[in-house]
Homo-oligomer: A and B are copies of this chain.
Amino acid sequence: MKNILLTIAYDGSRFHGWQRQPSAVTVQGFLEQTMSRLFRREIRLEGTSRTDAGVHALGQRATMRTDIGIPTDRLARVVNNALCGREEGSYAVSPVRILRAEEKPEGFHARFDASGKKYIYRMSPARPDVFRRNYVYFTAQKQAGAGLDISAMQQAAEALKGTHDFKSFESAGGNPRLTTVRTIFDARVIPAAEALEKGSASRLGLQPDEVLFEVSGDGFLYNMVRIITGTLVEIGQGKRAPEEMKEMIEAADRTVAGHTAPPYGLYLAEVYYGEKTHGQQTQLG
């Protein structure tokens, strides 16, 4: 019995989220069905994160326990060809791709052993072109052309760092028995033009009108990144002061924070195991 850890990229725009559902097309369901057919036995995945419908992944992780004979270093290639629905050499590109497969000790679990995650959120105060409608949040305002105050957003993001109770940034639906305390390793608001100059974000297909929010931490509450993003947008639009971020955290009350930004701007960028290597560069799958 092998225990294989997969790194997975997907375009979430055509899926009803990660988690298997009986009557909706999900990323987990698509992967499990494709692999079960390919390997002629039931394949079950344990994913790290239940991403919502429309949310994308550059580096989702999932473990599978299986007795398939195929060498692990060939698994990604074989599964990716099957995901394209055609034979090797196909010209098709699937919305889901296995980026890496590696064997782990028997007890290793993609979710329980994760020490943290990194998310990226793409937004733009300019109306994105028709090709980015499922990938970038348009932070529309009444006054056409009004931008986002990046330095105010950066100042507010600083207040997120460290260990806090993030109850104000959790949607209903979270487990009420569990703690809402989380540690944020890093939180940055970056103009895409700056990220493009450094070359680090070129693989995301970013365009200069965009603003990125990158956040890493040991865990995130339900919709936490989207509520934080919505709050940062309101700060960037001048509707709230940057100093309010600290107060909102301290209030521990969802009603004081901003709106929930839409799912399609959100990317699960990276999952950390063991030491928190949250400085490393994220590669787009």
Contacts and interface: CB of A to CB of B under 8 A. Distances in A.
Contact of A285 (B9, B130, B284): B130
Contact of A128 (B93, B135, B141): B93
A246 interface: no
Complex copy number for this chain: 2
A138 B207 CA distance: 22
Interface string A121-140: 00000011111110101111
A151 interface: no
A56 interface: yes
A100 interface: no
A88 to B, nearest CB: 8
A140 B91 contact: yes
A200 interface: no
A202 interface: yes
Contacts of A141: 89
A159 B208 CA distance: 36
Contacts of A96: 130
B131 A11 contact: yes
